[in-house]
């Protein structure tokens, strides 16, 4: 497990902080585990780093969101 850290300041929108706070509360409510905002953010960055999301044409945050959605959407089954 990597133990080296650097403290950085990241500005998030209020709605993003509310989402993270609700997520931590939901996790605590569901199973009693305490997980901090920073741990969630680190986990999301690690997941993106390990994912096959192609970033060669990403030019904005919206482009990155679209690339993530395309590569994480469930595969469509046969049409009935």
CA 57, CA 63: separation in Å to the nearest integer?
8
Output the pTM of the full model.
Answer: 0.79
| Total residue count of the chain as it appears in this document | 80
Over the stretch 5-58, which tens digit does the pLDDT of each residue have?
899 999 999 999 999 999 999 999 999 999 999 999 999 999 999 988 888 889
Domain boundaries, the chain: 14-72
Q: Given the structure tokens 């950085």, which residue do they identify?
A: 8
Q: Which residues of 6-27 are buried (b: 16+ CB within 10 A; e: fewer)?
A: eeeeeeeeeeeeeebeeebeee
CA 10, CA 44: separation in Å to the nearest integer?
14
């Amino acid at each position: 497990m990597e133990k080296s850290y650097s403290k950085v300041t990241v500005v998030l929108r209020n709605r993003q902080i509310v989402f993270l706070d609700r997520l931590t509360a939901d996790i605590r409510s569901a199973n009693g585990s305490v997980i901090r905002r920073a741990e969630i953010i680190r986990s999301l960055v690690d997941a993106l780093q390990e994912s096959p999301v192609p970033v060669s044409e990403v030019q904005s945050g919206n482009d990155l969101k679209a690339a993530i959605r395309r590569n994480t959407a469930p595969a469509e089954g046969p049409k009935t």
